[in-house]
Amino acid sequence: MAKESTTIDVGEPSTVTKSSSHVVKDAKKKGFVAVASRGGAKRGLAIFDFLLRLAAIAVTIGAASVMYTAEETLPFFTQFLQFQAGYDDLPAFQYFVIAVAVVASYLVLSLPFSIVSIVRPHAVAPRLILLICDTLVVTLNTSAAAAAASITYLAHNGNQSTNWLPICQQFGDFCQNVSTAVVADSIAILFFIVLIIISAIALKRH
Amino acid sequence: MAKESTTIDVGEPSTVTKSSSHVVKDAKKKGFVAVASRGGAKRGLAIFDFLLRLAAIAVTIGAASVMYTAEETLPFFTQFLQFQAGYDDLPAFQYFVIAVAVVASYLVLSLPFSIVSIVRPHAVAPRLILLICDTLVVTLNTSAAAAAASITYLAHNGNQSTNWLPICQQFGDFCQNVSTAVVADSIAILFFIVLIIISAIALKRH
């Protein structure tokens, strides 16, 4: 009885081999082993994804708060004027704070999807959602970092042609904080690129 | 006769529904049709991808050349000084020209991979390569656009806190050209986001 059922089992794949559906045969034959090992690799990727997101949250919150608290008041003042520099003096830095805060919030909200990918490594929908949203958010993050970086460059070096004088000689600490925030956010961009590549590879292995 | 064949057709799915391998059954039964229609959908996506790349090439070359040729000489001059503004007066605009030219070159080089995706819609490797490279290049493109945009904003509005005066009152045409280039490049960023989403969906349907 058992032998009979075995011959039926073996016979079935061989007839299928003649048909063109090669993948279906493989999936049936190697079945559980292949699914399990692929699931392991996918779960590994998903765990790495989750850890990267945690790191990116830390980096973006750090960048946004360093920029937000960057402020310097010079120790001398005239009757009418106190010399002070803050992130809200320059629109590019305001944009940086808002955009990076949005990115950090998005990363927190994306954690559940990342957890779903760990629990169910073969689910395609959360992966695709993460990839598309990551792509949108990385452009937001890059634009914030680049806008702030170009203003920071100007603050350091000034520009002779347009007669914009550097302000970092006066506001050294402010410029240093701002530069730190920009560099931290650039690291977050690298994290995002790795996250997108992970999602793409996980989708491919489906 | 026709009626009989209809009853058989209706009967078959109801027995198979009892078994758990719903997808395998579908693949076996619809077999060739399913593969062909998926191939068709993928090919459609690949053709759309190719056309988007052509449009993005046009837009990025346009943006880079508008920025490169943006130049204005004021009709008055002193003994020592002629008032002139060009893209090479501001590092952010120089970066824009170089980065967008690199992006346009990348897009031209990516066309063969896009053509391979049209000819062989089920090939995974070119899709994955395109997705990863597109992700890298979209950050380059976004950084160029954002850096130039923040300087353009400054040129239009100036900044009172840092005493950077607007230059667009003098160099109106220059500012307009520069703004055009930034807007065109922003459209290219949208194209890139769509390209990445297309690649992700094509990978998913594998």
pLDDT for the residue B10 = 41
Query: If DSSP codes are grouped into helix, strand and coil, which group holds residue A19?
Result: coil
Average pLDDT over residues A106-111: 96
B124/A89 Cβ within 8 A: no
pLDDT for the residue A27 = 47
A108 or A203: whose pLDDT is higher?
A: A108
Q: Determine the distance in angstroms separating the CA of A3 from the nearest CA of chain B, rounded to an integer.
A: 22
Percentage of chain B lying above the pLDDT 70 cut? 77
Strand A82-86 vs strand B71-77: parallel, antiparallel, or unpaired? unpaired
Radius of gyration for the alpha carbons in chain A, expressed in angstroms and rounded: 27
Please state the domain extents for chain B: 40-70+88-204
The per-residue pLDDT for range B151-175, each reduced to its tens digit, is: 999 999 998 888 889 988 888 899 9
Model confidence at B6: pLDDT above 50: no
B35 or A178: whose pLDDT is higher?
A: A178
B201/A206 Cβ within 8 A: no
Least-confidence region, from A61-65, B6-10, B187-191: B6-10
* Chain B interface mutation, best of A82, A87, A130, A142, highest count of B Cβ atoms under 10 Å: A142
Residues 6+ apart with CB under 8 A from B73: B82, B83, B84
A173 or B27: whose pLDDT is higher?
A: A173
Average pLDDT over residues A131-159: 94
- Residue A143 has its nearest CB partner, among B32, B146, B206, at B146
| Cβ atoms of B91 and B151 closer than 8 Å | no
Model confidence at A163: pLDDT above 70: yes
Angle at A115 between CA A111 and CA A118, to 5 degrees: 145
Question: If you measure CA to CA, which chain B residue comes closest to A150?
Answer: B147
Model confidence at B12: pLDDT above 60: no
Q: Which residues of B touch A153 (CB under 8 A)?
A: 91-92
A139, A141, A151, A127: which is closest to A199 by C-alpha?
Answer: A127
Q: Which residues of B touch A154 (CB under 8 A)?
A: 151, 154, 164
pLDDT band at B121 (very low <50, low <70, confident <90, very high): confident
Average pLDDT over residues A146-152: 95
ipTM of the complex: 0.78
B143/A145 Cβ within 8 A: yes
Q: Which residues of B touch A139 (CB under 8 A)?
A: 138-139, 142, 189, 193
For chain B, give the mean pLDDT. Answer: 83
Model confidence at A48: pLDDT above 60: yes
- Residue A200 has its nearest CB partner, among B31, B150, B203, at B203
Q: Which residues of B touch A165 (CB under 8 A)?
A: 163-164
Long-range contacts, A106-114 (Cβ 8 Å, 24+): A106/A133, A106/A137, A107/A53, A107/A56, A107/A57, A107/A60, A108/A57, A110/A53, A110/A134, A111/A50, A111/A53, A111/A54, A114/A46, A114/A49, A114/A50, A114/A53
B201/A85 Cβ within 8 A: no
Model confidence at B88: pLDDT above 90: no
pLDDT band at A132 (very low <50, low <70, confident <90, very high): very high
Model confidence at A138: pLDDT above 50: yes
Cα–Cα distance, B70 to A130 (Å, whole number): 40
Model confidence at B55: pLDDT above 90: yes
Least-confidence region, from A59-73, A132-146, B3-17: B3-17
Average pLDDT over residues A26-36: 53
A28 or B40: whose pLDDT is higher?
A: B40
B2 or A190: whose pLDDT is higher?
A: A190
pLDDT for the residue B19 = 45
Q: Determine the distance in angstroms separating the CA of B147 from the nearest CA of chain A, rounded to an integer.
A: 5
Model confidence at A30: pLDDT above 80: no
Q: Determine the distance in angstroms separating the CA of B122 from the nearest CA of chain A, rounded to an integer.
A: 11
Cα–Cα distance, B100 to B108 (Å, whole number): 12
